């Protein structure tokens, strides 16, 4: 075999096995990119009825009253999951159970970051479970009535302790 014949075979195999697959792959990828439709959501069809609010007026009024009672000594958190307040390290099942319980209001000492008071709605939560946990940590716990009423003196007493 002559050198020109070998070089023609090398060229033919190069084109057949390298150049043609490369061109085919580039063509397919270009077609995918060209024909691929944008899947961006259509926000023009959304209709807003009201302005978004963080919480309702009753909750907001309650937060303002708690803030005036605290006189800057305490921070008030609203709508916190119980697993954010009570840390569980070894028991995953208990941690998941705590995650299901929502605490309406959590009052935290501004200086020490210690939880001073927890206020929950009696309708939403199984109170014996919550009372048991907070009594173990010596954290005051107040339950709102079914009508959402509260006693300011109970809150003042709990914060003074």
Domain residues for 118?
A: 57-160
Q: Is 57 helix (H, G, I), strand (E, B) or coil?
A: helix
35 found inside a domain? no
145 found inside a domain? yes
93 found inside a domain? yes
20 found inside a domain? no
How far is residue 124's CA from residue 54's CA, in Å, rounded to a whole number? 19
CB-based contacts of 85: which residues, under 8 Å, 6+ apart? 103, 106, 115, 118
pTM of the prediction?
A: 0.58
Please compute the mean of the pLDDT values over residues 12-22 and round it to a whole number: 88
24 found inside a domain? no
pLDDT of 72-93, one tens digit each?
788 878 888 888 877 777 778 8
Distances (CA, A) of 154 to 17, 23, 84, 140: 84, 79, 24, 10
Higher-pLDDT residue of 155 and 161 is: 155
2 found inside a domain? no
86 found inside a domain? yes
42 found inside a domain? no
13 has pLDDT over 80: yes
pLDDT of 29-69, one tens digit each?
888 887 776 666 565 665 656 555 555 667 677 777 777 77
Provide the domain count of the chain: 1
């Amino acid at each position: 075999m002559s050198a020109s014949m070998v070089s023609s075979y090398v060229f033919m195999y190069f084109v057949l096995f390298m150049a043609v697959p490369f061109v085919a792959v580039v063509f397919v990828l270009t077609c995918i990119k060209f024909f691929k439709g944008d899947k961006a959501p259509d926000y023009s069809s959304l209709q807003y009825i009201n302005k978004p609010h963080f919480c309702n007026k009753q909750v907001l009024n309650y937060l303002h009253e708690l803030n005036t009672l605290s006189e800057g000594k305490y921070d008030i958190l609203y709508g916190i999951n119980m697993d954010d307040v009570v840390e569980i390290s070894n028991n995953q099942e208990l941690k998941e159970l705590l995650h299901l319980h929502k605490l309406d209001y959590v009052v935290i000492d501004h200086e020490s970051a210690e939880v001073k008071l927890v206020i929950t709605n009696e309708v939403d939560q199984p109170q014996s479970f919550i009372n048991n946990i907070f009594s173990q940590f010596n954290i005051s716990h107040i339950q709102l009535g079914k009508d959402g009423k509260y006693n300011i003196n109970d809150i003042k007493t709990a914060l003074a302790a």
